[in-house]
Structure 1
Amino acid sequence: MSIHWNGVMPAVFTWLKESKSGTLEIDLDATQKQAAGILKVQGKGGSRMSGLVGSGTLGENSYLSTKQRLSLLKSLAEVAKEYNVPLISGAAAETKEELAKIVEGLATVGVDTVMVMPPKTKAVPSEKEMYEYYALSEATAKDVGVTIMPYNNPDAAGYHALSTDLLMRLSLLPKVTALKISTIDVSIIETLLLKNKDLKILAGVDTVTVHAGLAGACGGITGVGCIFPKASVTMQEYVLNGEWAKANKISQALNSLSYLDAQPLLMEYLKLAMGIHHNDVAGGLRTFGKKLTQQQIDDVRARYILAKERLEVLDLVS
């Protein structure tokens, strides 16, 4: 699939249900329905989400087994195909050989692009080791017919930062089609584009969508956009058109909720907000992750209500 990165892509939640034994398992039907509902929404300018991100940080990725992850992505590939958008998923491993096997597996279930996170090692890899880690994933991607998106997430605990020099070197590899930069410091985006104005860079934190666009990002991957897709798509339309005041107005309306996207419990918080939005609080609280306290639940609800009230004024609640 030829991928056009100009736009916003939802990192969808993995919906769970209780099995007969009382344990949690993936609800594939609910997850598919959720993804399709997001992809069919149009912004005020008529555009839609330009891709689908599955089994990412917001999709319970770190808690899923390989079998669960591949089953989930296979089901989401059906939705992506129906809406003619690329399916993207993440991958991280301790060794480059393990990473290569993950890339091979993702290709078998319909993933088009693999977001490759830095090695999951305690010791900081050398630049040479880091390059070799990504280079093998790129070579593997070429063999199995997918593309690669190096994922720099220096604000997240446990992930090593990729230097701008390394990102530039990686961007030259044939199967690297875009870079994902998840940080509130968007200056790295402008630094990279000053070196190569043709780079495709996606922002990964909802709080900086407009600022990332000002720095030159061509799009973004969103969690808040799963809850309010019309607002997210419309904001990106304004960003791409350079209508900064209009874009910023939407960003300000979303601020109370976007704040949660930059917190350690972003998956638990935003999944609950999604549950509240769809009158399924119990579903929103079903997670393999951390259990929220009542104070945290109340805070998420208050933030959701504030964002919804602001967006309703702008006619951006679908």
Structure 2
Amino acid sequence: MSIKWTGVMPAITTPFNADYSVDHGFIRQHVQWLVENGSTGIVPCGSLGEGATLTSEEKIAVMKTVVDAVGDKVPVIPGIAALSTREAVHLAQAAEDLGCHALMILPPYVYSSDWREMRQHIVSVAQATALPGLLYNNPVAYKTDFSPAQIAELARELPQIQAVKESSTDARRVTGIRELIGNRLALGVGVDDCLVEGVDAGAQFWIAGLVNAFPKESVALYNYAMQGKKEEAFAIYRWFLPLLRLDTVVKFVQLIKLVQQEVGMGHERVRAPRLELTGAERESCLNILRTAMANRPAL
């Protein structure tokens, strides 16, 4: 499958049963619902998918479920992150064997060092398969920041890298990357509350979080932004922003899963060390959601 780096690609949450095993039945239902509502790709096993608390075997099983559920309707682009480069290479090769269509390549968990080491990690994973690669830059979460110049260097060396998910929270990064590489890489927004700004700067796709609960609104917002329909885009954006900002804080997984539960598309269970929200923190999220639901735009 040729990857078209456009549209809204949900970074899906990983649902858990009451015993905290992975709920593969709901994964199948959820990703099919997302595709039916206009999603153009599915990204399992990322940060929002609690990849750090899934074993390699569980990640591979999640990939298989998603591939089986969506077939060739949209590309499946799993997050490839691990404590070691060896494990990341293993996951990449397993993804290829399962029929995934591309790889979202992350720096290693926990260990974050200099450019020489991080560069070698990305090169090793990208060259481990024939699949196209999406470089994930998220310095807030992973403490590794791929600068525009470093991304340009990787683009020159690795034809496998086709796109960048830019999650530095700085929309200027999109223009900075574009300045150095032109159209060599497709650029995507990886922060929920920077979509309109990112598109204005030249981003072509959106790997989103709140789309897990609000796919129609997410797709409409993206389409209006890409079409340059400012008034329509900002009408949705103003309504959506309090929810989208839930994606940019430490407990974004708990918050998004709670929202999913409240709209009837998921459960708030998370794996330790995360804990379900309680008290004022939980009520604050519910108040944001109640306000949003009371003013939900007609699409």
TM-score where L is the length of structure 1? 0.88
Query: 2:89, 2:128 within 8 Å by CA — same for their partners in 1?
Result: yes
- Number of residue equivalences: 295
Residue 159 of structure 1 deviates from its aligned partner by 2.9
Is 1:113 aligned to residue 98 of structure 2? Answer: no
Residue 98 of structure 1 deviates from its aligned partner by 3.3
2:60 aligned to 70, 76, 86, which one?
70
Residue 123 of structure 1 deviates from its aligned partner by 5.0
- Which ranges in structure 2 are unaligned for 5 or more consecutive residues? none
Query: 1:118, 1:161 within 8 Å by CA — same for their partners in 2?
Result: no
1:124 matched residue in structure 2? 113
What is the rounded CA distance, in whole Å, between the counterparts of 1:93 and 1:110 in structure 2? 20
1:44 matched residue in structure 2? none
1:162 matched residue in structure 2? 146
What is the rounded CA distance, in whole Å, between the counterparts of 2:132 and 2:236 in structure 1? 32
What is the rounded CA distance, in whole Å, between the counterparts of 2:20 and 2:82 in structure 1? 25
Task: Give SS of 1:169's match.
Answer: helix
Query: 1:189, 1:216 within 8 Å by CA — same for their partners in 2?
Result: yes
CA change 1:92–1:222 in 2 (3 A) is same
Instruction: Quote the RMSD (CA, aligned, Å).
Output: 1.6
Point out the more displaced range, 114-123 or 188-197: 114-123
Please list the CA deviations of residues 168-224 of structure 1 after superposition, one character each: whole Å capped at 9, or x if unmatched.
111231111111101221101011112223120111111000000011000111111
Residue 6 of structure 1 deviates from its aligned partner by 1.4
- Which ranges in structure 1 are unaligned for 5 or more consecutive residues? 42-47
| 1:213-232 mapped onto 2 (5 Å cutoff) | 213-232=199-218
Instruction: Using the aligned pairs only, state the percent identity.
Output: 25
Please list the CA deviations of residues 61-98 of structure 1 after superposition, one character each: whole Å capped at 9, or x if unmatched.
1111111111111011112216x100011122344333
What is the rounded CA distance, in whole Å, between the counterparts of 2:52 and 2:79 in structure 1? 10
1:287 aligned to 243, 246, 270, which one?
270
TM-score where L is the length of structure 2? 0.93
Paired residue type of 1:271: K
Is 1:179 aligned to residue 179 of structure 2? Answer: no
Query: 1:51, 1:80 within 8 Å by CA — same for their partners in 2?
Result: no
Residue 102 of structure 1 deviates from its aligned partner by 2.1
What is the rounded CA distance, in whole Å, between the counterparts of 2:167 and 2:58 in structure 1? 26
2:13 matched residue in structure 1? 13
CA change 1:94–1:57 in 2 (3 A) is closer
Is 1:200 aligned to residue 186 of structure 2? Answer: yes
Query: 1:202, 1:218 within 8 Å by CA — same for their partners in 2?
Result: yes
Runs of 4+ in 1 over 6 A off after TM superposition: none
